[in-house]
């Protein structure tokens, strides 16, 4: 079954068996506005939890996307190169950034689940 | 004070609106101290004009002497309409086009400039300008390191000494290794043999500092087979009207000094740095970029774009710290190229070359004088039978600006002391050459 | 609701030509190409003997051909699409958009100052050297610091000069340090410059009054800190009242104090940097000393240096020698023994120096004091008058610029951007928007000293009326649609960044039917 978790930096990670998919949340894309450029890691790259793994840019802002967990990238979403707007229109689906294998599957247990993330967003708005 | 519109009555009314007693009261937070400056009080326009004219009179203007000076800064004729147009207040007194709706004039001229530079260098894209050729060279080398994720830079001995020095200075604290080859007046250095897989880029200049024209294609091929970028400096952009463009020969980044087409030497500044590269590298480029888009009514318009590379957004992760660039000089460059057009630009280059060939033929036959490069554009090194700096000083007394001694850049290289750089442009008349030849005959 | 202005635009845009009265549409030069035309008549080359070694360029360059009238009209029409100081009020915060006297242009064009070559023998360029020496004297006097590097090409380049000197000084004393501290309100060039100089950058928070938090700074200072870069007056338009305490703390910690002089216009003639404990500061000649901004440049960023840094100044610099003035051009030799190197080709932004000297001589020491006085007076006048409707970010006297935030637009649905664009329709250049980052939706207004009270009053009345209109809540669309009276309306920056078109390319010709 799929297990989706969230970071305080508004990345999501969805773990399905032994493959995890990473993207940014709807809240993150709405804060950034129109996304014009995405740089995703290539397959084979090692990433560490909390360390920059991808870049997302709007016209007036550039943000780092941090790896929610440590592991190895298996695939970057090359389709975003030509269609960065997919991150705006479908951040939780087609707008994913990269897929990875986890070094330690238990690592994501420390991240927020949907309910905790919703509460976190409410606190941010308050 | 002629530049200050406020009257004493205005000041009084404004102070009472603000609720303070005096202008000085607005500065009460500043520490007090000694403000007895050793400076004169204000002067009228006439007095200032007289003072500045006195400075000017102490110089020999290149307009008043046969001049063969070059070494990266060239004297060309500029049409009267060029200086008129850049002095239009709407160009001269605007700033960076941050509000595109009221800056389409500047933005479109940048777009046209970027296109012209790309065409002239035969590259895919160009930016809105750097400070000058030398700083552009440093930026290009740094960019090559970002693109290749390598940290070794090789600089040819044919690169302008100032470009080399600025590159070494500007990049010395960011973990890069810069190898500068010895000055190469004869044009025999082996770059191809030094290419390896650790190198980020090779920096060359064409025409070279000593005048040599080189086919860079074999070097480019070797670079690319090792994943190395070829950075080509162009110190005299008029050459691009006659000589095979760097892009055609395989350059990955082309930088240049645009001064020679933009206007007077002005003692070397301000110039304008040209910066062109391949489309796939645009996100690693330094400096401003202007791009085409549409407005809300669907009409074509222009904006500054890809700004996330720049310091005002990326801060310490920016591709460069440059903010203010050389906008007005870029505009002057662009207007001159527009005035010339294809026919004028290529003809101007042909005239420059023909005059340089004539100059080489005339001085090359003088006893003890040897023209060094076999192939050149409008400038070349000659060897003299005595120190070039002495010759230059002796001819200056006779009102001839004979060229630039290589020792001015390389005082530590004894073997360069007799080397003189001489340039000819469309401004170099037969009478100028006669004067130089006669002068050389006397002092050699 | 409909906007009457918008309707006019729609009607006018239906002209056959596309022009609208005095507002001309103008194509790109490549689209008005008459092949073979040139605006320059050149003679034929005298011969065709070449020494190109087979490197003759093949194929054309691809430049268009235009006649001189075509060219003059092209650029004249483009110029008319620009806002400029000559045409109107340009209160762009932190950019010091003041009147540019034409005397300065005339002086820079004297043949003896314009048509001189950087490598003329020194004996033929003594006037140029003397002019540089004069500029150096003025700037050292006005700042009270003993040394100066003239060659930096702009503010950011001057920052690099200062940090390079600091790095060289630390190296000379065997003191390797790795961090530069920058307040969170700093201009982006500060951290970018520190990074280029090989330093890690750390941010120092503000104290709630728009100034550096001295305690936080003191806490962070340590043996790893090389320098602190502080803009003063700062980017909130406020004087750093604790500048001296900051300098003392920095020096006690063995670090250097870099002051960003972008806002020197506010204090020129009223305080010396020696007084503030400054080790290095760049001076933007294109701001304080009114050399034209030229659509983005050129500028010049001479950098004054304390005694501790003087020896490390970059080449070239003017020296007094037995045969008059000379130029020290080689780092590691003679008077440039300890110079950190060369930053710029040739001798610096000489043409900018000429203009700055003409400007400084025009004002003199008495006039420059009036310059800062009127600049600060104008800014405070705007601050007080506009506070009637706008929300000033900080209480009390400001320096040369007044900072507002977007609290006055709360719940109106109108953003700082919308408000700024509406100012364009009123005939004013908007202030700097969204900078500094330390306040929300910033509007940073720098009127400069060269604006009359009448101009400021007209501006205030327009802006106050706009603010009242925004708060009424019945004209949101007017703000969202603004500007409507400009050559172009809002441009699609997203499209520009997603699919960059950075140059003109010929439209491919349709294939002719065989």
How close C141 gets to chain B, by Cα (Å)?
6
Evaluate if residue C509 carries a pLDDT over 60: yes
Residue C236: is the preceding peptide bond cis (ω within 30°)? Answer: no
Asked whether B302 and B290 are in contact (CB, 8 A), the reply is yes
Provide the CB-side half-sphere exposure for B221 (13 A, CA): 4
The DSSP string of B153-184 is: EEE-TTS-HHHHHHHHHHTTTTT-EEEEPPP-
Evaluate if residue C12 carries a pLDDT over 70: no
Rounded CA gap, C328 and C157, in Å? 20
pLDDT of amino acid C4: 40
Please state the rounded mean pLDDT for residues B301-321. 91
> Inter-chain contact C493–A59, Cβ cutoff 8 Å?
yes
Evaluate if residue C24 carries a pLDDT over 80: yes
Tokens describing residue A120: 């976190």
Q: How confident is the model at residue C2 (pLDDT cuts 50, 70, 90)?
A: very low
Q: Which residues of C touch B243 (CB under 8 A)?
A: 52, 55-57
pLDDT of amino acid C507: 77
Rounded CA gap, C166 and C177, in Å? 10
Chain C interface includes B151 (CB < 8 A): no
Q: How confident is the model at residue B282 (pLDDT cuts 50, 70, 90)?
A: very high
Tokens describing residue C513: 């039917």
Rounded CA gap, A28 and A10, in Å? 6
Strand partners, C172: none
pLDDT of amino acid A1: 57
Residues of A with CB under 8 A from a CB of C: 34, 36-37, 57-60, 84-85
Q: Which residue has the higher pLDDT, C8 or B90?
A: B90
Cβ-Cβ contacts under 8 Å for B385 (sequence gap 6 or more): B367, B368, B369, B418, B444
The size of the A-C interface in CB pairs under 8 A is: 14
Please state the rounded mean pLDDT for residues B182-199. 95
How many Cβ atoms from other residues are within 10 Å of residue A14's Cβ?
Answer: 18
Q: Which residues of A touch B313 (CB under 8 A)?
A: 60-62
Tokens describing residue B113: 């400039």
Q: Which residues of A touch B307 (CB under 8 A)?
A: 59-60
pLDDT of amino acid A61: 87
> Inter-chain contact C494–A37, Cβ cutoff 8 Å?
no
The size of the A-B interface in CB pairs under 8 A is: 15
Rounded CA gap, A45 and B380, in Å? 51
Evaluate if residue C30 carries a pLDDT over 50: yes
Phi/psi at B203 (nearest 5 deg)? Answer: -110, 120
Please state the rounded mean pLDDT for residues B149-162. 98
Nearest to C496 among B4, B305, B404 (CB): B305
Evaluate if residue C506 carries a pLDDT over 90: no
Q: Which residues of B touch C270 (CB under 8 A)?
A: 27, 30, 35
Identify the DSSP state of B310. S
Task: Please tell us whether the domain made up of C103-359 is placed in CATH 3.40.640.10.
Answer: yes
**Distances from the Cα of C198 to the Cαs of B424, B437, C167, C205, in angstroms?**
42, 51, 9, 22
N- to C-terminal Cα separation, chain A: 34
Q: Which SS3 state, helix, strand or coil, does residue C228 take? A: strand
CATH architecture designation of domain C365-488: Alpha-Beta Complex (3.90)
B273-277: strand order across its sheet: B125-126, B273-277, B253-257, B229-234, B199-205, B152-155, B177-180
Q: Which residue of C has its CA nearest to B55?
A: C127
Evaluate if residue C5 carries a pLDDT over 50: no
pLDDT of amino acid C491: 97
pLDDT of amino acid C511: 63
Q: What are chain B's domains? A: 66-78+337-443 (3.90.1150.10), 80-335 (3.40.640.10)
Residues of chain C with CATH 3.40.640.10: 103-359
pTM listed for this prediction: 0.96
Question: Which of C26, C154, C129 lies closest to C79, judged by CA?
Answer: C26
Please state the rounded mean pLDDT for residues B348-371. 98
Q: Which residue of B has its CA nearest to A36?
A: B306
Evaluate if residue C8 carries a pLDDT over 70: no
pLDDT of amino acid C7: 41
Rounded CA gap, B85 and B331, in Å? 9
Please state the rounded mean pLDDT for residues C396-420. 97
Chain A interface includes C52 (CB < 8 A): no
Chain A interface includes C498 (CB < 8 A): yes
Q: How confident is the model at residue A3 (pLDDT cuts 50, 70, 90)?
A: confident
Evaluate if residue B289 carries a pLDDT over 70: yes
pLDDT of amino acid A16: 87
Please state the rounded mean pLDDT for residues C248-257. 97
* Chosen CATH of A2-117 out of 3.20.20.70, 2.40.50.100, 3.40.50.720, 1.10.10.10: 2.40.50.100
Burial letters C55-78, b for 16+ CB under 10 A, else e: bebeeebbbbbbebebbbebbbbb
Work out the burial of residue C309: count CB atoms within 10 Å of its CB; fewer than 13 is exposed, 13-18 middle, 19 or more buried: buried
pLDDT digits (tens, 9 = 90+) for C119-137: 999 999 999 999 999 999 9
Tokens describing residue B443: 């002092």
Evaluate if residue C11 carries a pLDDT over 80: no
Chain A interface includes B280 (CB < 8 A): no
How close C498 gets to chain A, by Cα (Å)?
5
pLDDT digits (tens, 9 = 90+) for C430-485: 999 999 989 999 999 999 999 999 999 999 999 999 999 999 999 999 999 999 99
Strand partners, A73: A100
Cβ-Cβ contacts under 8 Å for C427 (sequence gap 6 or more): C88, C462
Chain A interface includes C17 (CB < 8 A): no
Evaluate if residue C221 carries a pLDDT over 70: yes
pLDDT digits (tens, 9 = 90+) for C174-216: 999 999 999 998 999 999 999 999 999 999 999 989 999 999 9
How close A82 gets to chain C, by Cα (Å)?
8
pLDDT of amino acid C488: 97
Evaluate if residue C510 carries a pLDDT over 70: no
> Inter-chain contact C81–B103, Cβ cutoff 8 Å?
yes
Q: Which residues of A touch B308 (CB under 8 A)?
A: 37, 57-62
pLDDT digits (tens, 9 = 90+) for C44-65: 999 999 999 999 999 999 999 9
B contact residues 120-149, partner C, Cβ 8 Å cutoff: 120, 124-126, 128-129, 131-135
Phi/psi at C511 (nearest 5 deg)? Answer: -65, 125
Residues of chain C with CATH 3.90.1150.10: 365-488
Question: Which of B369, B338, B348, B372 lies closest to B428, judged by CA?
Answer: B348
How many residues are present in chain B?
Answer: 444
Chain C interface includes B247 (CB < 8 A): no
Question: Which of C107, C484, C289 lies closest to B45, judged by CA?
Answer: C107
In chain B, what percentage of residues exceed pLDDT 70?
100
Rounded CA gap, B370 and C184, in Å? 61
Helices and strands (H and E) in chain C: how many: 17, 13
Chain A interface includes B307 (CB < 8 A): yes
Residue B207: is the preceding peptide bond cis (ω within 30°)? Answer: yes
């Amino acid at each position: 079954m799929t297990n989706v978790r969230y970071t305080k930096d508004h990345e999501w990670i969805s773990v399905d068996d032994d493959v995890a998919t990473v993207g940014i949340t709807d809240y993150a894309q709405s804060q950034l506005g129109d996304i014009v450029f995405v740089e995703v890691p290539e397959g084979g790259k090692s990433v560490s939890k909390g360390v920059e793994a991808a870049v997302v840019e709007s016209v007036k802002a550039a943000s780092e996307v941090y790896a929610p967990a440590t592991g190895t990238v298996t695939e970057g979403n090359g389709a975003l190169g030509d269609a960065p707007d997919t991150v705006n229109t479908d951040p939780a689906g087609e707008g994913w950034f990269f897929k990875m294998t986890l070094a330690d599957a238990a690592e994501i247990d420390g991240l927020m689940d949907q309910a905790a993330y919703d509460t976190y967003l409410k606190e941010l708005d308050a | 004070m002629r530049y200050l519109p406020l009257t004493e009555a205005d000041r009084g009314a404004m102070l009472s609106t603000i609720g303070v007693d005096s202008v000085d009261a607005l500065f009460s937070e500043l520490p007090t101290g000694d403000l007895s400056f050793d400076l004169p009080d204000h002067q009228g326009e006439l007095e200032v004009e007289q003072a500045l004219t006195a400075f000017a009179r102490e110089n020999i203007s290149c307009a008043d002497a046969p001049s063969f000076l070059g070494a990266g800064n060239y004297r060309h004729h500029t049409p009267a309409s060029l200086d008129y147009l850049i002095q239009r207040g709407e160009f001269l007194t605007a700033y960076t086009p941050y509000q595109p709706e009221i800056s389409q004039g500047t933005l479109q001229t940048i777009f046209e400039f970027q296109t012209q530079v790309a065409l002239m260098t035969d590259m895919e894209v160009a930016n809105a300008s750097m400070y000058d050729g030398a700083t552009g060279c440093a930026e290009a080398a740094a960019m090559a390191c970002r693109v290749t994720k390598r940290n070794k830079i090789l600089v040819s001995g044919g690169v302008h000494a100032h470009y080399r020095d600025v590159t070494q200075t500007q990049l010395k604290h960011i973990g890069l290794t810069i190898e500068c080859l010895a000055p190469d007046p004869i044009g025999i250095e082996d770059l191809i043999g030094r290419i390896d897989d650790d190198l980020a880029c090779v920096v060359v200049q064409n025409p070279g500092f000593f005048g040599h024209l080189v086919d860079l294609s074999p070097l480019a091929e070797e670079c690319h087979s090792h994943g190395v970028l070829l950075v080509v400096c162009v110190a005299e952009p008029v050459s691009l009207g006659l000589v095979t463009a760097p892009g055609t020969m395989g350059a990955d980044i082309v930088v240049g000094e645009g001064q020679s087409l933009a206007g007077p030497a002005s003692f070397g500044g301000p110039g304008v740095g040209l910066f062109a590269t391949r489309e796939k590298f645009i996100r690693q480029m330094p400096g401003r970029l202007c791009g085409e888009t549409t407005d809300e009514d669907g009409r074509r318009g222009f904006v500054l774009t890809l700004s996330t590379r720049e310091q005002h957004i990326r801060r310490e992760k920016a591709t460069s710290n440059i903010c203010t660039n050389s906008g007005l000089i870029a505009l002057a460059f662009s207007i001159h190229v527009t005035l010339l057009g294809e026919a004028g630009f290529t003809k101007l280059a042909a005239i420059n070359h023909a005059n340089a060939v004539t100059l080489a033929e005339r001085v090359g036959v003088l006893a003890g004088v040897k023209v060094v490069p076999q192939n050149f554009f409008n400038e070349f090194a000659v060897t003299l039978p005595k120190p070039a700096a002495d010759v230059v000083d002796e001819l200056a007394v006779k009102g001839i600006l004979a060229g630039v001694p290589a020792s001015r850049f390389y005082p530590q290289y004894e073997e360069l002391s007799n080397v003189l750089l001489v340039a000819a442009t469309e401004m170099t008349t037969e009478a100028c050459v006669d004067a130089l030849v006669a002068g050389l005959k006397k002092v050699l | 609701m409909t906007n009457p202005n918008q309707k006019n635009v729609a009607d006018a845009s239906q002209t056959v030509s596309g022009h609208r009265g005095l507002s001309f549409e103008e194509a790109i030069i490549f689209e008005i190409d008459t092949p073979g035309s040139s605006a320059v008549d050149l003679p034929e080359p005298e011969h065709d003997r070449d020494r190109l070694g087979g490197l003759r360029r093949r194929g054309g360059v691809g430049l268009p051909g235009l006649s001189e009238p075509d060219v003059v009209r092209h650029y004249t029409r483009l110029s008319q699409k620009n806002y400029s100081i000559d045409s109107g009020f340009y209160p762009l915060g932190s950019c010091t958009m003041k009147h540019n006297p034409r005397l300065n242009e005339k002086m820079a064009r004297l043949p003896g100052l314009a048509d001189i070559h950087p490598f003329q023998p020194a004996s033929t360029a003594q006037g140029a050297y003397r002019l540089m020496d004069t500029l150096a004297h003025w700037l050292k006097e006005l700042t009270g610091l003993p040394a100066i590097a003239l060659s930096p090409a702009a503010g950011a380049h001057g920052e690099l000069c200062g940090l390079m000197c600091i790095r060289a000084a630390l190296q000379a004393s065997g003191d390797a340090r790795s961090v530069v501290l920058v307040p969170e309100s700093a201009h982006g060039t500060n951290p970018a410059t520190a990074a280029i100089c090989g330093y890690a950058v750390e941010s120092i928070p503000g104290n709630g009054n728009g100034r550096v938090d001295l305690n936080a700074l003191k806490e962070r200072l340590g043996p790893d800190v090389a320098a602190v870069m502080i803009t003063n007056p700062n980017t909130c338009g406020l004087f750093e009242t604790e500048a001296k305490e900051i300098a003392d703390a920095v020096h006690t910690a063995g670090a250097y104090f870099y002051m960003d002089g972008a806002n020197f216009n506010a204090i020129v003639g009223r305080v010396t940097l020696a007084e503030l404990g400054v080790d290095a500061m760049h001076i933007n000649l294109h701001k304080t000393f009114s050399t034209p901004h030229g659509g983005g440049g050129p500028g010049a960023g001479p950098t004054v240096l304390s005694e501790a840094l003087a020896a490390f100044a970059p080449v070239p610099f003017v020296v007094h020698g037995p045969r008059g003035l000379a130029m020290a051009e080689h780092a590691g030799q003679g008077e440039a023994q300890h110079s950190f190197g060369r930053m710029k080709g040739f001798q610096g932004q000489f043409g900018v120096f000429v203009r700055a000297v003409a400007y400084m001589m025009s004002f003199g020491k008495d006039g420059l004091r009036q310059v800062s006085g009127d600049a600060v007076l104008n800014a405070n006048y705007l601050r007080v008058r506009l506070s009637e409707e706008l929300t000033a970010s900080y209480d009390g006297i400001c320096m040369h610029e007044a900072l507002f935030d977007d609290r006055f637009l709360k719940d109106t649905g109108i953003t700082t951007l919308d408000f700024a664009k509406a100012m364009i329709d009123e005939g004013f250049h908007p202030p700097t928007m969204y900078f500094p980052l330390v306040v929300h939706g910033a509007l940073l207004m720098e009127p400069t000293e060269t604006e009359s009270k009448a101009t400021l009053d007209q501006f205030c009345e327009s802006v106050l009326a706009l603010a009242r209109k925004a708060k009424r809540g019945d004209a949101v669309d007017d703000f969202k649609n603004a500007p409507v009276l400009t050559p172009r309306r809002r441009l699609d920056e997203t499209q520009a960044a997603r699919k960059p078109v950075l140059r003109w390319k010929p439209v491919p010709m349709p294939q002719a039917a065989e």
